[in-house]
Structure 1
Amino acid sequence: MEKIYIIGLGPGSIDSLTLGAVDRINAGDKNFLRTEKHPTVKYFVDKNIPYKSYDFLYDTKDSFGQVYEKIAEDLIEESKKNSSINYFVPGNPLVAEKTVELLMEREVDIEIISGMSFIEPMIELVGRDPINGLKIVDGAEFNGLIVDINVDMIITQVYNYRIISEVKIILSEIYGDEYEVYLVNSAGVKENEKKHLVPIYELDRFEEVGPLTSIFVPKIDGKHKKVFDFNDLLGIMKILRSENGCPWDMEQTHESIRQSVIEEAYEVVDAIDKNDIDGLMEELGDLLLQVIFHSQIAFEEGEFSLYDVTSSLANKLIYRHPHVFSQKSVENSEEVVYNWNMLKYAKRDIHSFTDKLKDIPKLPALMTSFKIQEKAAEIGFDWDNIDGPLNKVIEEYQEVLEAMEKFGGGDERTEEELGDLLFAIVNLSRFLKVNPEVALNRTINKFIKRFEFMEEKLEELGKKFEEMTLDEMDELWNQAKIHKIH
């Protein structure tokens, strides 16, 4: 059976070639190199050992993935023509070599001849011990989700300015422009080794960029930390809940802080309504705190962990988006919502319409009313046009007046009629495509701003509200309306 020997050429120096690699070079088999842009290729040239390089493919394909697929396919075909062939790659064949990964997935006989990777000389050059955490990533496929600020990181395959510029932008967004990283060239090739400790914004300003270029990003030091990630938040909460933590945090339960979830959610909405982006960032953090707080309490009680929360959410998102994660197609966003609801009901074993209404969570009354009416409209229980909800508001208003006259305030029957009026107004808002919760919050904010205007005017007059008559306050209120305070 045909066989492919995959041999590591080491980080760059000929002195780093292993005896196994030298034996294969001189074995007489046909030699293939992923790239000849590697210092150890000089060994082949000096000894007149023939080889074929795949460098030409990089200019013929649209993506690196296509290049690597073509290399793997060609090697398999070549192995069928010969009893055995040699395939040489930089460094260690099992470190950052996509072609090797592809070959190992195929039904072909492979033998790995190891070599020193670029990792060892890299960490020697920057003087960092990997025992404290080291992540190695491919610069050609780099994205923000890969980053872990709590471990050192080597970004390899940054062999041109386009890749380095893209990496720089992502690192800058996370670490900041001034954070210092190492740009390293030719690690392991002693006569050519270079390292530059530079702020991230200078990464793409160096001329020495090529196949042996890598970036080393030190983890963020805890002593001077200004950037934190999800794991940091978990660690902080664990400390706060620990024996030597905060007495208040230690005492809390799911029940004692449940109201905070509602309050923080409303503060998020308020920041959005005010178009306060800085406030939104802060309030989203406060809302996230509630998730972490409840998850830590649950973990301590042996109920569930944050990984259970994130896994449940991820599985739900995948399950309810078959048009994204499977072959199902949809026409528009309305169909997406419909599919989402149908999948949700199937998961919760909900079949009857009443079950669907009962499944609506206990939100604030305005929001719950809105959602119930939306559900009723889905099965056709709705007005044909705006006249229906308008007339219903008038009808319910009259019934409130009658109840007030007949039973007075504070009576349950008056309360019931007032509830009917509010429900009718919510229905009208739905027809007008206005969220009643948002509308009422906007009115509340407008009310507060108008009172602020009134109070400022009173200060100019040297007066206080307590000294004003209702008619005088009405006059100030009308001034606020004229000035379009909203």
Structure 2
Amino acid sequence: MATIHILGLGAGTKAQLPLGVYETLKQAQPLFVRTKDHPVMAELEREGLTYRSFDEVYERHPHFQVVYEEIVNCLLEEAKRQGTIYYAVPGHPLVAEQTVHMLLNQGSEKGVTVHIGGGQSFLDPLFARLQIDPNDGCVLLDGTCLTLSQLNPRLHHIITQVYDRFVASEVKLTLMELYPDDYSITVATAVGVIGQEQLLEIPLYELDRVLDINNMTAVYVPPATDEQVLNRLYDQARDIFRTLRGPDGCPWDKKQTHESLKKYVLEEAQEVCEAIDAGDVDQLKEELGDLLLQVFLHAQIAEEEGLFNMEDVLQSLNEKMIRRHPHVFGDLRLQDAEDVKQQWEKIKAEEYRQKQNRQKR
């Protein structure tokens, strides 16, 4: 059966390679490497190591996904043609190596066995330099596809693939949706590589101004304790309302019921409309918060009564929006807003019919 042995080139120099990986690399033939742009490769070349790199594939394609697909297809074909091949990647094969995960997913389908060898991840020296314990909670993210929903400011964040100033700019803009512009971050480059390692602590807004960014650059974002950050979080609001209704909470909030809050829901909705009519953006932001307050408070009361909680409310909302937008989340094609309205009413009527049927049972 065709086999691919995947080896990790470690985080830095030859001295940091595990002995077993080093000895395997020395006799590995044919050997393919994702990139020769790694400190250990020059040392191994001087010892006579021969290999084929995929650096030219990066030059042919503007998008990484296409690059990875070509690399994986080539490796699978070579394995089937030659029986056994070796593939070396920076760091540890299972850390921030998309081609490895693609090989693991596709190997069995193509009749190719994939074996994972060792290798020191860049995370080991990075944790040591930053003096952080990942057991406290650490998120490893890809800078080329970073999204706001991936961020949890109570945890350590290490963002990889920040290989140029364009990616750095995209990462900065995403982080600034949650963190203050001057939030302190660390740009870490070639950590663990003697003579090349750089740790630069800067405010967030300067991230895309750093000149020495390359394929060995990662960004570290420390956990936030500032309420300016935490007060932007959903779970912070959940904790606040649980506290308000708790034993040591607010006497007024603790005595409220769904019935007693009805008038406030109407009042807050009316004030939202008034802010819209006035064209007052700041007032609208505040009034929407007051309306959301009512939602959180009702959900908290329901949770205490064992009926439902805020997560159930969100689940119901999300499911409804997906269900009522088959032209966005499904295959249905609609022409204009009038078609959308008619489809909405049709789905709504069907939901009502199903609800009535359930109540009759």
Q: TM-score, normalised by structure 2?
A: 0.92
Supply the distance in 2 between the matched residues of 1:167 and 1:272 (Cα, whole angstroms).
Answer: 33
Q: 2:295 pairs with 287, 291, 298, which one? A: 291
1:24 aligns with 2:15: no
- Secondary structure (helix, strand or coil) at the match of 1:50 reads coil
Name the structure, 1 or 2, with higher relative contact order (CA <8 Å, separation 6+): 2
1:251 aligns with 2:255: yes
| Equivalent in the alignment of 1:44 | 44
Identity %: 39
Supply the distance in 2 between the matched residues of 1:165 and 1:74 (Cα, whole angstroms).
Answer: 33
1:236 aligns with 2:202: no
Supply the distance in 2 between the matched residues of 1:180 and 1:306 (Cα, whole angstroms).
Answer: 33
> Residue 178 of structure 2 contacts residue 232 of structure 2 at CA under 8 Å; is this kept in 1?
no
Q: 2:328 pairs with 313, 324, 327, which one? A: 324
- Secondary structure (helix, strand or coil) at the match of 1:88 reads strand
Q: 1:177 pairs with 178, 181, 191, which one? A: 181
Q: RMSD of the TM alignment (CA)?
A: 2.1
* Matched ranges for 1:110-259 at <5 A: 110-222=114-226, 227-259=231-263
| Equivalent in the alignment of 1:433 | none
Amino acid at match of 2:246: S
1:263 aligns with 2:267: yes
> Residue 230 of structure 2 contacts residue 236 of structure 2 at CA under 8 Å; is this kept in 1?
no
* Aligned residue-pair number: 353
1:397-453 Cα shifts (integer Å, max 9, x gaps): xxxxxxxxxxxxxxxxxxxxxxxxxxxxxxxxxxxxxxxxxxxxxxxxxxxxxxxxx
List runs of 5+ in structure 2 lacking aligned partners.
Answer: none
Q: Indicate how the Cα distance of structure 1 residues 225 and 140 shifts in structure 2: closer, same or farther if over 3 A, else same.
A: closer
1:237-282 Cα shifts (integer Å, max 9, x gaps): 1222221222222222222223222222222222111111111111
* Matched ranges for 1:434-445 at <5 A: none
Task: Return the index of the structure with the highest Cα Rg.
Answer: 1
1:278-321 Cα shifts (integer Å, max 9, x gaps): 11111222222222222222222222222222222222222222
Q: Indicate how the Cα distance of structure 1 residues 168 and 225 shifts in structure 2: closer, same or farther if over 3 A, else same.
A: closer
| Equivalent in the alignment of 2:343 | 339
Q: Indicate how the Cα distance of structure 1 residues 9 and 298 shifts in structure 2: closer, same or farther if over 3 A, else same.
A: farther
1:309 aligns with 2:313: yes
* Matched ranges for 1:394-473 at <5 A: none
Amino acid at match of 2:341: V
List runs of 5+ in structure 1 lacking aligned partners.
Answer: 356-486
> Residue 345 of structure 1 contacts residue 351 of structure 1 at CA under 8 Å; is this kept in 2?
no
Q: Indicate how the Cα distance of structure 1 residues 244 and 338 shifts in structure 2: closer, same or farther if over 3 A, else same.
A: same
* Matched ranges for 1:10-89 at <5 A: 10-89=10-89
Supply the distance in 2 between the matched residues of 1:271 and 1:50 (Cα, whole angstroms).
Answer: 70
Supply the distance in 1 between the matched residues of 2:158 and 2:28 (Cα, whole angstroms).
Answer: 36
Supply the distance in 1 between the matched residues of 2:36 and 2:318 (Cα, whole angstroms).
Answer: 43
1:348 CA drift (Å): 2.4
Amino acid at match of 2:119: G
> Residue 24 of structure 1 contacts residue 86 of structure 1 at CA under 8 Å; is this kept in 2?
no
Q: Indicate how the Cα distance of structure 1 residues 251 and 115 shifts in structure 2: closer, same or farther if over 3 A, else same.
A: farther
Q: TM-score, normalised by structure 1?
A: 0.69
> Residue 33 of structure 2 contacts residue 51 of structure 2 at CA under 8 Å; is this kept in 1?
yes
- Secondary structure (helix, strand or coil) at the match of 1:242 reads coil
Q: Indicate how the Cα distance of structure 1 residues 236 and 330 shifts in structure 2: closer, same or farther if over 3 A, else same.
A: same
